[in-house]
Every structure is written in structure tokens, then in C-alpha cells.
Amino acid sequence: MNMNIWLYAGLIGGALSILAALAAYKNVLKYDAGSARAQEIAGWIRAGASTYLKLLYKTLIALAIILGIILAIVFSGVEKQNHGLLTAGAFAFGALCSALAGWLGMKVAVEANVRTAVACKEGVPEGFSVAFKAGSVMGLAMVGVAVFGMSLLYLIWEDVEIILGFSFGASLLALLAKAGGGIYTKTADIAADLVGKVEVGIPEDDPRNPAVIADNVGDNVGDVAGMGADIFDSYVAAVVASMLLGFSFHKQELLGAQYVILPLVLCIIGIISTFVGLPLVRVGKDGKPGRALNFSTVFTCIVFSVLATAFFIIVNAVSGSMSGNDPMQGLNWGALISTITGLLIGVIIGFTTDYFTNDEHAPVRRTAQISGSGTGLTIITGFSYGLISIAPAILGIVAATIASYFTSQAFGMPGIYGIGVAAVGMLSLTGVIVSNDAYGPIVDNAKGIAEMSGMPHDVVDRADTLDSAGNTAKAITKGFSISAAALTVLAMFAAYCESITTYSKQDLKLDLMDPLVLSGVLLGCIIPALFSAELMLAVTKNAFTMIEEIRRQFKAEPGILKGTVLPDYTQCVRIASAGALKALIGPAFLAVICPLIVGFILGPGALGGFLGGAIFTGVVFALLMSNSGGLWDNGKKYIEAGNFGGSGSEAHKAAVVGDTVGDPFKDTAGPSLNTLITVMSLVASLFAPLIAVHHFFK
């Protein structure tokens, strides 16, 4: 298999995906943008989102420059020529690509929200079509930029460690973009709900609420730009981890050179599958948006499996190795089986998440029913279902790990490489998964614009139908990305161990009887807890400030609640922006500095234990918080749809409080944790050559 042919194919596939995203963006702009009032409200949201992203990216550019200089200096002593400068450049390029994908997704989202609302005048199918096309811009842009960037770097330098720098840049930006966006969006959401719904009894998207524009802005900076960067990070990290393993095993003559770029080839097949699957997603006249979104996932999964199998057959036929069992010739069938195993289990995990967060199933309905008995039972029930939801996802991760590992071994390949490509397989549907995820905040904004601009009640109801499906789609995406991150960091963990062994010239032993390793495990276990606490405390601090501002405005100007005077929306936007940016220092320290402190002081074994502890508790925390939060949110919406007393009832008041607790769970801390463990694993792998030689406890 000619390596360069597939790298050029990666460049072409990535470029085509980016062009398709731009074409879809132009197509969305052709739809009716509505009345002057609707466009005015959409303009407020657009301006707020753009202002925040500019501030965020200015901050991140400064951080990228500082870290780039540090990387250039630290790695200048590595034997490879210009390794420090190249690593720093790749780091900056990765951060730029991640920012570009998130910015483009946010750009189309703030244009599509008002157009989706207007399209809902015609019906649910029309509104769905606009929102999903806009969401596909994000999905196509993300996979296109990622594949193009990785293919370009490897084509030029043929050094996987350079691409590791690219992944680190993408992951660090993703962590801060997701954490900052999550703090922003939940600050506004909680403040708007607690004062608007609970204290003064006005609807969620009422223009009289001073926090309503900040809330809608938050949907874009948190759930589009932030979540997009988050999944971009998982996607790139999975590919890089597998490439590192392929490179390491190739040097040991356990695998052929083709396995270094096989993960990139699988991404190209994923792009082609996305091109086939996206145009077929539509809602019939009486159809349900949620089913259409699920169909896109399942259908694309089938297309990918067929194309990947055909690719393996063709390559083996051309290479003359039709047995497909020789890891040095052709392509080993173990790699294909592991890839498809990861893909199928990822879809299964997504649908188990759907069970716990969709209002068509018992957990959400039971929690909504129990809300009639008070807030305490709402919290206990939702939290308990969140704990239960951990089990099927973990069982799926275990199944994918065992199946891919032993299948690869059975076909004569290193088992850990099978785990790596299983993670790539799980994320091969990223184009579709991200399209589904970006759809959610677009329809959420559409509902708000429809309500605030005075569109007919049936239009608001149609937008609400789309919004409910969007909440479930976002929950499925989070479950999917958390599970994929778990497999990715296992592969990255193996790459770290291989690197330590190579540079220290002795095997890395992770023995729990070793006090340094055990200390590392315990230290790693507390990082996800501290990280989650920092983010959620930032939300509560900022929300408290915004609540006081909302109350001040209501008291100072009684005409706001009467609807005769517009509130000062910009002040709430400023509070959310400033608070989110100030709160990013702590999370960045935990993700980057803590692994280095453990590694350079306690040594490689302790750092291995540290990563293990962080991975285990991080996955559990992330699943619990994402699923509980999604359940509480849809439980509230189920009551607002007229069940168990409807809006204004005691059940509704309790459900609003449950949703308030769940907001930072599902949109701030939960989905940021998978990025945290990815960043820490990347830091460990990137600095492994130095830690292997320079550490205090030798």
C-alpha cells in the first residue's frame, strides 16, 4: 500500500468535506430570515456570541504563544533536528484548526436559528431541514479540518510525534473552549430560570427577562463552538493514539508501515460515509425528529462498515495477501473487526444514553411524575438514574476493549493496537454525530426567537418539538464522545508506556504494591472531582452575580415586567463572558501542570498510575453528570408539555430546580471531563521522553 497515495487522499477528502460545509452554509443563508423583529433578536444573539468568542480566542492565542515557546525550548534538546520548533508549530496549528471548526459551526448556528424558527411556520419537517443542514456544516467542517491537518503534517514530516503536538493543541483549546462555554451558558441558563420561571413566573424565552439573550448566546458558545471543539479533540486524539501505536509496533517489526496511517484511512472512509448518510436525513409530515436523527446514525454506521470491508478486500487483493492474517503484508482482518466492533458498541452506548434521557422512556417520565412530591425526590430520582446509566456504558467500553484486544491478538496483531482502531471506529461517525449535536442548540435558539418575536403559538410548539429531540441528541452525543474518549485514552496510555520503555530502555511496571504507583492512582482519582467542582463553583458564582443583576433591573425599572421597557441584555452578557474567562485558569492548571508535577517528581510509574486513576473516575463522573443532567432537563420539558400538571404546577417548580442542578452537570462539568483526561494523557505522552530520563525518584 503506497503511503503517500492515502495521505493525498486524506488531503482531498478533508478539502472536499470543508467545501461541502461551506456549500451547506451558503444553502442555509438562502432561507427566509423572517420579520424585522425576529432578525433584531437574532442579531443580539449573533453579536453576543461573536463578542465572547473573540475574547476567548484572544485569551487562547496568548496562551498558545506562551505554551508554544515553552514547547520549543523544552524540546530543543531532543536529538531530532528542529524537533522543538516543529512540535510548537504543530501545537499552534492544532489549536488553530480546532478554533476554526468551532468558529465556523457557531457562525452558521447564529444564522440558522432565526431561519429555523421561520421555517417552522410551514411545519416541523421544514424547520428540521434547515436546522439539520446547519448542523451538518459543523460536522463536515470538523472532520474535514482534522483529516486535512493530520494528513498534511504527516505528509511533510513523516513523524507521528509532530502530530502529537497537533493533537495537544487541539485538545487544550477544546478543554478551555468547552469549559468556558459551559460556564457561560449555564450561568445565563440558571439565572434566567431561577428568577424568570420560579420568582416572577414568566416563560423561559420571555423578552422581559434580562438574561434571555445571554442564555441564547450561551447555547452557541457552549453547545456549538465548545462541544464542537470537544469532539474535534476526541477525534484527533483517537487517530493520533493509534498512529503512535502503529509507529511503535512498526519499529519493533510487529506491524507493517501501513498501520501507521490506517487510522487516517478509516477517517477518509468515515467522510465518504457521511457524504452518503447526511442527504438522506429528513422528517416526514407526521414523523419524529428524534427518529430521523437516530436513523442518520444507524444508516451511516452501516455504510461505513460496508465501505471499510470493501477497502480491506481490495487492498488485500492488490497486495496478494488475501488471507488477511499477516500483520506485515496487506491489511489484517483483526484491524477491521476491531474497528467495526468499536463502531457498533459506540452506537449501542449512544442508544442506552437515549433510554435514560429521552422523555419517551421510563426514567424521564418517572422522574417527572415524582417531581409532584417535591424538589428533594426529583434530585434523588434523577441522580439515581444517572448512577444506573453508568453501568451499560461501562459494560460497552469493557466489551469493546476485550473484543478488540483479543480479536487483534487472535489474528497475530498486538492487542492494544486493536483498542486504538476500535476508538477510531467509534469516532468514524463524527461527521454525523456532530451534525446531530449542533442541531440541538440551533433549534433551542429557534424556539426562543419564535417566542420572543411573537410568532404564533403553533410555531413555538413546532420549534419546541424540534428542541426536545435536540436535547436527546445532545445527550446521545455526550455519551458517545465520553465512551470514545475512554477507549482513546486507553490507547494513549499504552502509547505513553511504550514511549517510556523506549527512552528509559527498561519496561515500565505499574505495580499497585509500589507506593509511588499507588500514590499516583490516588492523586489521579481526585483530579476529575476537583476539576468538576471548579467548573460548577464558577457557574454558581457567576449565576449568583447575574441573578442579583436581574433582580436589580426588575426593581429599578418596573416597566420591564410590564413589557413597556426593554431590559439591559448587554449587562448579563458581560457578566457571563467575564466570569467564564476568569474561571479557566484552574482547569488549565489541573490538566497541564498536575501530570508534569507527578511525572517529574514521582516518576513514570506514578504518572502511569495517575493517568489510570484519572481515567477511571473521569469516565464515571462524566457519564453520571451528563446523563443525570439530560434526564432532569427533559423531565422538565415533559411536564411543560402538559403532563403532571404542566407549567406552573408544583411538579414543574420542582423540575425546574432539578434542571438547574442538571445544567452544570450536563453542559459544563460532564462533557468537559472526557477532554480533561485526553489532555492529561497527551501531556504525559508528549513529555514522556523527558520524564523517562529526568525524574526525582529514580
Query: Quick one: average pLDDT of 125-153?
Result: 90
614-636: per-residue pLDDT in tens? 999 999 999 899 889 989 988 99
Per-residue confidence (pLDDT) for residue 238, from 0 to 100: 87
Per-residue confidence (pLDDT) for residue 44, from 0 to 100: 85
Query: Quick one: average pLDDT of 45-70?
Result: 83
Per-residue confidence (pLDDT) for residue 15, from 0 to 100: 94
Q: How far apart are CA 384 and CA 377, in angstroms?
A: 10
pLDDT at 562 over 90: no
| Among 426, 429, 404, CA closest to 417 | 404
Q: How far apart are CA 235 and CA 249, in angstroms?
A: 22
Per-residue confidence (pLDDT) for residue 437, from 0 to 100: 80
Enter the DSSP assignment of 412.
T
Per-residue confidence (pLDDT) for residue 521, from 0 to 100: 95
Q: How far apart are CA 353 and CA 475, in angstroms?
A: 7
Please state at what angle helix 124-157 crosses helix 289-319, rounded to 10 degrees: 30
Q: How far apart are CA 112 and CA 367, in angstroms?
A: 33
pLDDT at 194 over 90: no
Looking at per-residue confidence, does 326 or 110 come out higher?
110
Mean of per-residue pLDDT scores for the chain: 86
| Among 171, 609, 619, 233, CA closest to 397 | 619
**Cα 17–23–26 angle (5° rounding)?**
145
Enter the DSSP assignment of 137.
H
Per-residue confidence (pLDDT) for residue 148, from 0 to 100: 94
Whole-Å CA distances, 447 to 285, 385, 454, 576, 593 = 20, 28, 11, 22, 42
Per-residue confidence (pLDDT) for residue 328, from 0 to 100: 64
276-328: per-residue pLDDT in tens? 988 888 877 666 787 778 788 888 889 999 999 999 998 888 876 666 666 66
Q: Where are the domains of the chain?
A: 3-693
Q: Which of 302-306, 339-343, 345-349, 605-609 has the lowest mean pLDDT?
A: 345-349
Q: How far apart are CA 677 and CA 685, in angstroms?
A: 12
Query: Quick one: average pLDDT of 210-227?
Result: 81
Per-residue confidence (pLDDT) for residue 322, from 0 to 100: 60
| Among 318, 308, 315, 166, CA closest to 232 | 166
Per-residue confidence (pLDDT) for residue 347, from 0 to 100: 79
228-277: per-residue pLDDT in tens? 777 788 889 889 989 988 988 888 888 888 999 999 999 999 999 999 98
Per-residue confidence (pLDDT) for residue 471, from 0 to 100: 63
Per-residue confidence (pLDDT) for residue 360, from 0 to 100: 83
Whole-Å CA distances, 406 to 112, 419, 461, 484, 664 = 46, 9, 51, 19, 39
Per-residue confidence (pLDDT) for residue 47, from 0 to 100: 85
Per-residue confidence (pLDDT) for residue 2, from 0 to 100: 65
389-401: per-residue pLDDT in tens? 999 989 988 998 8
Per-residue confidence (pLDDT) for residue 265, from 0 to 100: 93
pLDDT at 388 over 90: yes
Whole-Å CA distances, 359 to 374, 441, 590, 601, 658 = 19, 18, 36, 50, 15
Per-residue confidence (pLDDT) for residue 269, from 0 to 100: 95
pLDDT at 346 over 60: yes
Per-residue confidence (pLDDT) for residue 287, from 0 to 100: 66
Q: How far apart are CA 51 and CA 185, in angstroms?
A: 14
428-437: per-residue pLDDT in tens? 888 888 888 8
**Cα 61–66–68 angle (5° rounding)?**
90
Handedness of CA 123, 126, 127, 128 (dihedral sign): positive
527-556: per-residue pLDDT in tens? 999 999 999 999 999 989 999 999 999 889
Looking at per-residue confidence, does 164 or 83 come out higher?
164
